């Protein structure tokens, strides 16, 4: 089953919040179709995923208790932000 | 028989005072200066930091301290590994000025061993490539032939070792990014079992595949570095919880009695016949040492690359969502938040990274996730089961690492499917989570070829044992 006509590179770029030039769209569209044709071979393998396998080692993600702890990294992490005001990361106005 | 180790020889020279860490570092930068114009292995050199590390090691040694084996020995780090206070770009414009505030766990572990970091090595952007041509720093060339690629994506780390700039380096391997360049450049490289080595502080590409791996010129050196970086890490909950058994005590045990499987799918018509002949000669040498070889079959080898492509692009599309121009990395100013995201990502990512984000977004999108992402994940399980079955019959698998030797620069860079086809023999192991070691095994068309030694999950010891036994006779072939 080929993807529906609405699944274009421009549509996917929009979903991925990725600016893409007109020149890029044509090339990416060709590559996308070629790659999709190549990976279609997985359809021939009789495998059904009852439970989704997200990792191969069997190790499960372990989440620690959600308890605030002091971090010495906060200022260092703030320092790598592209724009700051004081101890805040600066962004354009979201609510007008 | 003693296995060759450049690291042990250098450590001995440092301990008995024949050379100081500062002198060793000077020699390293001289070697880099002599060859870097041609090889382009590094994105940045860290002269000041390295000099301070070397001076500290010399002072501690002079004060009578007994230091670890790696103390004072120079090494290179792939630019996808975060280094505290040292620019880490992942060869991407979006991270061109990123200076991490912390070390990757593997970097922290080597730092504790006293390693001296000489620089950050070139790679394909975000480790997405097989040639180290897709880099904001330009291509790395093969030290054996400057008109050809070093392989990728860890091409800079591998070329730096092959050109004898450094005795060892760290790369990362998601679908062959340590092993394929190691094969192309004629050095030793390991992809560990998934979960053996912490991914904390490694710029993520595909999290259920990414592993850090050592590159060196001898099997023992690779084993030494592997032991220094492996083991559970509370900061990466996907690391395997059990302690890592040492691989060094069995390094000299030989291969007598080992059962070796030769997958027939690794010698199909898609593999250059000269590469096949070279690898089969190496397998004969292993048999002559007392191993028993049988042909085995891994029928899903042919679909592994499709599974790999779908799952890694899906994981990449979510992992790279973090680069939005807000918290770190490149920000392209724009009047709205949405436009900042789009423009920062549009200008910051290269064409291959965009290609992977687009396919991954598709594979996870409503209406297609079942057919692509979930189906690929289900086939992944079948591939892992296939490996598990074959490892009930044999101890290790032997084959080539790539279907060809290093190819000319520019030959495949505009043809993604041809570039992806180079990965065909190195993707099924990460799909299955098993370890694999590359050991140089001769040449084809005058260029290096690597023998790929694959073992069951957690059995790096068998990779190293067979690798060391083969290495000892390889020179006399």
Active site amino acids of B: 78, 153, 177
Interval B187-242: pLDDT, tens = 999 999 999 999 999 999 999 999 999 999 999 999 999 999 999 999 999 999 99
**Nearest-5° Cα angle at B155, B300 to B449:** 60
Which chain A residues contact residue B380 at CB under 8 A? 53, 56
Q: How many CA atoms lie within 13 A of B463 on its CB side?
A: 28
pLDDT at residue B233 in the model: 96
CA distance B334 to B325: 11
CA distance B123 to B136: 9
Give yes or no for a contact between B344 and B327, defined as CB atoms under 8 angstroms apart: no
Residues 20-39 of A with CB under 8 A from B: 20-21, 24, 27-28, 31-32, 34-36, 38-39
Q: Do A12 and B101 touch (CB under 8 A)?
A: no
Q: Averaged in consecutive runs of 10 residues, what is the pLDDT profile of chain A (96 residues)?
A: 74 96 93 96 85 74 82 87 93 83
pLDDT at residue A3 in the model: 67
pLDDT at residue A5 in the model: 63
Residue B76 has pLDDT above 70, yes or no: yes
What DSSP string runs through B138-184? -PPEETTEEEEE--SSSHHHHHHHHTTSSSEEEEEESSSTTHHHHHH
Predicted ipTM of the assembly: 0.93
A3 and chain B in contact, CB less than 8 A: yes
What CA–CA distances, in Å, run from B360 to A12, B194, B351, B414? 9, 22, 14, 20
Q: Which residue of B has its CA nearest to A62?
A: B237
Give yes or no for a contact between B191 and B182, defined as CB atoms under 8 angstroms apart: no
Distance from CA of A90 to the nearest CA of B (A): 8
CA distance B428 to B414: 24
Distance from CA of A67 to the nearest CA of B (A): 16
Tokens (6 digits) for B182 = 């190691």
Nearest beta carbon to residue A83 from set B300, B331, B365: B331
Which chain B residues contact residue A41 at CB under 8 A? 302-303, 306
For B58-108, list the strands marked E by DSSP: 74-78
CA distance B39 to B416: 24
Distance from CA of B379 to the nearest CA of A (A): 6
Q: Which of A5, A6, A19 to mutate to test the interface with B (most CBs of B within 10 A)?
A: A19
Interval B351-383: pLDDT, tens = 999 999 999 999 999 999 999 999 999 999 999
Nearest beta carbon to residue B362 from set A7, A55, A79: A7
In angstroms and rounded to an integer, the radius of gyration of the C-alpha atoms of chain A is 22
Q: Which residue of A has its CA nearest to B385?
A: A56
Interval B328-352: pLDDT, tens = 999 999 999 999 999 999 999 999 9
Nearest beta carbon to residue A16 from set B303, B317, B420: B317
pLDDT at residue B477 in the model: 47
Across chain B, what does the average pLDDT equal?
Answer: 97
Residues 374-433 of B with CB under 8 A from A: 374-382, 384, 416-417, 420, 431-433
- Of A3-7, B97-101, B188-192, B385-389, minimum mean pLDDT range: A3-7
What DSSP string runs through B301-326? HHHHHHHHHHHHHHHHHHHGGG-SSS
Which chain A residues contact residue B330 at CB under 8 A? 82
């Amino acid at each position: 089953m080929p993807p529906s006509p609405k699944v274009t590179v421009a549509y996917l770029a929009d979903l991925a919040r990725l600016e893409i030039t007109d020149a890029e769209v044509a090339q990416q569209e060709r590559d996308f179709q070629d790659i999709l044709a190549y990976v279609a071979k997985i359809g021939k393998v009789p495998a059904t995923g009852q439970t989704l396998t997200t990792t191969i080692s069997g190790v499960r993600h372990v989440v620690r208790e959600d308890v605030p702890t002091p971090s010495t990294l906060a200022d260092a992490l703030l320092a790598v932000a592209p724009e700051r005001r004081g101890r805040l990361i600066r962004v354009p106005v979201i609510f007008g | 028989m003693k296995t060759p180790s450049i690291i042990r020889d250098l450590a001995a020279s440092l301990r008995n005072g024949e050379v100081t860490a500062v002198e060793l570092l000077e020699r390293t930068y001289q070697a880099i200066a002599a060859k870097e114009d041609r090889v382009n292995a590094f994105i940045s050199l860290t002269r000041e930091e390295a000099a301070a590390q070397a001076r500290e090691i010399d002072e501690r040694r002079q004060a009578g301290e007994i230091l670890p084996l790696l103390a004072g020995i120079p090494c290179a780090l792939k630019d996808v590994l975060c280094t505290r206070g040292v620019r880490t770009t992942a060869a991407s414009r979006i991270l061109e000025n990123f200076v991490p505030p912390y070390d990757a766990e593997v970097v922290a572990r080597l730092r504790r061993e006293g390693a001296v970091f000489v620089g950050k090595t070139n790679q394909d952007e975000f480790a997405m490539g097989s040639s180290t041509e897709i880099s904001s720093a330009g291509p790395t060339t093969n030290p054996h032939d400057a008109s050809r690629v070093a392989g990728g994506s860890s091409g800079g780390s591998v070329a730096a070792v092959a050109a004898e700039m450094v005795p060892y380096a760290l790369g990362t391997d998601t679908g062959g990014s340590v092993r394929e360049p190691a094969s192309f450049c004629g050095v030793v490289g390991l992809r560990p079992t998934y979960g053996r080595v912490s991914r904390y502080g490694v710029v993520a590409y595909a999290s259920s595949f990414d592993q850090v791996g050592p590159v060196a010129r001898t099997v023992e050196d690779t084993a030494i570095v592997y032991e220094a970086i492996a083991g559970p890490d509370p900061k990466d909950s996907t690391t395997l919880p059990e302690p890592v058994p040492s691989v060094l005590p069995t390094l000299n045990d030989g291969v007598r009695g080992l059962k070796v499987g030769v997958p027939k799918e690794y010698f199909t018509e898609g593999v250059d016949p000269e590469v096949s002949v070279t690898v089969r000669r190496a397998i004969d040498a292993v048999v002559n040492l007392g191993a028993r070889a049988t042909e085995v079959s891994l029928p899903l080898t042919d679909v592994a690359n499709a599974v790999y492509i779908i799952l890694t692009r899906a994981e990449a599309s979510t992992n790279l969502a973090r680069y939005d121009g807000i918290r770190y990395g490149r920000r392209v100013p724009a009047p709205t938040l949405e436009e900042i995201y789009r423009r920062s990502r549009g200008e910051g990512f290269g064409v291959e990274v965009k290609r992977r984000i687009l396919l991954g977004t598709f594979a996870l999108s409503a209406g297609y996730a079942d057919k692509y992402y979930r189906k690929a994940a289900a086939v992944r399980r079948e591939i892992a089961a296939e490996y598990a079955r074959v490892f009930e019959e044999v101890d290790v698998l032997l084959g080539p690492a790539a279907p060809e030797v290093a190819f000319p620069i520019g030959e495949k860079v505009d043809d993604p499917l041809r570039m992806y086809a180079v990965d065909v023999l190195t993707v099924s192991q990460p799909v299955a989570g098993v370890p694999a070691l590359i050991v140089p095994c001769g040449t084809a068309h005058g260029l290096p070829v690597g023998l790929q030694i694959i073992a069951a999950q957690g059995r790096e010891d068998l990779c190293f044992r067979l690798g060391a036994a083969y290495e000892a006779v390889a020179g006399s072939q």
